[in-house]
Structure 1
């Protein structure tokens, strides 16, 4: 696992020990950023169910100004912090150990807005629709913002959410992985 492009290109990233997290492969990460970027001129990113922090770190490396990482698993939080240090991105990142539902509510109260929101929940405990509805409710997505969801390919997500979000891309990878990208509608 490594940073694929941008200012931190080629830097290796540590993965979380054990079987409780499933890191996004370099191939899937590269495809995601080819679909949404590949480079950015600022903005904020939110990396939910962060695991090792690979998606948020990749966004920072490619030009996102600031990223917030959320995970509730202690070893994941330690790994994210180590990876941010390895890439020398401490001044542009915040890491919180919290439940995603609670974190979305807190960010809503703070009126936070994000250009990119990454979601890579554990396949066994996916509550993707509920999380996306919470993102919409709390108005966390900027105009033209995107939600990027990595999910099991057997999970069937809606094509749109109440005219607020529409799925603009969907890609399935060999194995069990699919990526759905939603964009905020004006």
Structure 2
């Protein structure tokens, strides 16, 4: 697993082989960031279910101004941020995204890009997006990028969110969601 582009291009990230972490494949990450293009530059990024931190770190490498990483286990995220020298442009929060109220933890912050890459087949994307207070985290033109198994069907309950694009990559579907 490596950084695809930007000022850390080619840098290999630490990954825990054989554990419950399923990082986004390099090809999928490259395609997602190609679609996002210049929207990453100067963006404030939220990486939920961050795992290794690869999505948020890729954004920082492409000149996002700040990334906030949230996961239950954060040691590997800290290692990768140190490796890429992005500690000063990041915040790492250890909490259970499913149980805790993320908007309260983030204390009124708003984000331009939100990555949601939870364990597959658990319904965590819907659970996260269904909370009405979640939309308070979204800046005006925010884009949410949600990754799930291609066997799952993402259903949005809130009328304030819209799936405007979906792409299939092997066994993964990436949904691009915006705030209406």
Q: TM-score scaled by structure 2?
A: 0.91
Distance in 1 between the 2:129 and 2:82 partners? 30
Q: Deviations over 1:16-65 (max 9, x none)?
A: 24321101110000011111225633131110111100000001111111
Contact 2:103 2:133 in 1 (8 A): no
Instruction: Spell out the pairing of 1:75-94 with structure 2 (5 A cutoff).
Output: 77-94=74-91
Aligned to 1:125, the other structure's residue is in SS state coil
Question: Which position in structure 1 is the counterpart of 2:58?
Answer: 58
Gaps of 5+ in 2: none
Gaps of 5+ in 1: none
Contact 1:70 1:103 in 2 (8 A): no
Most deviating of 16-25 and 46-55: 16-25
Contact 1:39 1:63 in 2 (8 A): no
Q: Deviations over 1:108-139 (max 9, x none)?
A: 5x1110001101101142321120122x4241
Q: TM-score scaled by structure 1?
A: 0.89
Q: Does 1:164 align with 2:180?
A: no
Question: Which position in structure 1 is the counterpart of 2:178?
Answer: 183
Contact 1:168 1:182 in 2 (8 A): yes
